[in-house]
Structure 1
């Protein structure tokens, strides 16, 4: 049997506006290697790093950006499909295909590009518009993927309107609170 010992720091963070009690557990497994567990309101996120330089895992978490940590701790996407806006987004795109839209000059190009002018006849645009009015897109557009492909093209899912993901924003707020607690703890230790 092999037994190893590691150094564990547990922080309980309370009185954060809009958040329940946060538990942060930092475990330094060995030099340059550690893991973190964050928990708030029954939801937990964890990660392990094996290349932190000379920092402890708490120092490492305190020094990294919230976005990096959120992406490392969770598979949540920063933005999600805005299901309520799929219909209006599709209608706007139909208008662009009918009327065209201008792409401004970039990087020294002297002329602008006009894209989509006349790609749809008035009759085709009206038919698509009517289909969009009657369509049920579901949460992510896949319920009417044939229609969206005709409007946006083969990779239509990249054109769908998005909105901030509330789960990602929640995790971001938890990470921010943990980092502030780590800074506060470091300042108190420096004063002692």
Structure 2
């Protein structure tokens, strides 16, 4: 009989906006493997990840976008999205206002279109079918022209169902709670600093906190603010990714420089991702 131990973290989230108390149970089986269970108002959602690149479940959850997490937590056959019929009403109102200003639509018909709201009942069942005239035989020619010139070109977007939107809000609340728990800590460098000083070297902590004598030569002259720093990161990432992809396309992964390009691309990708994340919160 084998007995395995894992690290379990249970979190209770209260006072989340427009949500009942949320219970989160995180089970880290080992580095890079674990699952999360989220409970709220009698419902529960669970997801397991077996390849998180050494991250904990909390770290992985914070790094992932809501759409991906919702797909992982979603259960059952209910659809996640539905047509956003509200878009039709907004589009019609915008069209009416524009055409009235141009004088190409009669005032009475424009008012009928503007006030009508139940456009879902008018949507054709098939792409080759006609839109239903909500005014019956009234304004037949006007509506036919309107349908041909505007409605037939509409592409109705999708939106989350109320069930999916509910889970999306819960995911956001869980992320906010986890962000308060996950701390970014610099490793203790005391031992290695001591050894470096004894060897006549600049201690690692000083190089990290203050920079090395080469720092001023490494800094790019074009980096003058955060916007240009982001451009610099994208430039460097593109350089290494381009070189890596070329080698992969040429089936030349065994080249001595391939690992160099691959590792540097990963490093710049990591820095750019965290820079963008930080920029969104400031």
Q: Shorter chain as normaliser: what TM range?
A: 0.5 to 0.7
Q: Any stretches of 5+ residues in structure 2 without a counterpart? A: 86-117, 133-143, 186-282
Q: Which of residues 121, 130, 135 in structure 2 aligns to 1:94? A: 130
Higher relative contact order (CA 8 A, sep 6+): 1
1:43-58 mapped onto 2 (5 Å cutoff): 43-58=43-58
**Gap change, CA 1:12 and 1:88, over 3 Å in 2:** same
From the two aligned structures, give the one with the greater strand fraction.
1
Does the 8 Å CA contact 2:6/2:28 hold for their aligned counterparts? yes
Cα shift at 1:60: 0.5
Match of 2:170 among 168, 171, 174: 174
Structure 1 residue runs of 4+, over 6 Å off?
none
CA deviation vs aligned residue, 1:136-183 (integer Å, no higher than 9, x gap): xxxxxxxxxxxxxxxxxxxxxxx9886530000000000000000011
CA contact (8 A) 1:32 1:50 kept: yes
1:38-73 Cα offsets, whole Å, 9 max, x none, are 111011000100110021011101111111101111
The root-mean-square deviation of aligned C-alpha atoms, in Å, is 3.4
Q: CA shift at 1:37, angstroms?
A: 0.3
Paired residues for 1:1-192 under 5 Å: 1-75=1-75, 76-80=78-82, 86-90=120-124, 94-95=130-131, 101=148, 164-186=160-182
SS in 1 for 2:19: coil
TM-score using structure 2 length: 0.41
Unaligned ranges ≥5, structure 1: 104-114, 117-158
- Other structure's SS at 2:62 match: helix
TM-score normalised to the size of structure 1?
A: 0.59
CA contact (8 A) 2:59 2:182 kept: no
Structure with more helix by fraction: 2
Q: Is the 8 A contact 1:79 1:164 kept in 2?
A: yes
Shift in Å at residue 86 of structure 1? 4.3
Q: Distance in 2 between matches of 1:161 and 1:55?
A: 36
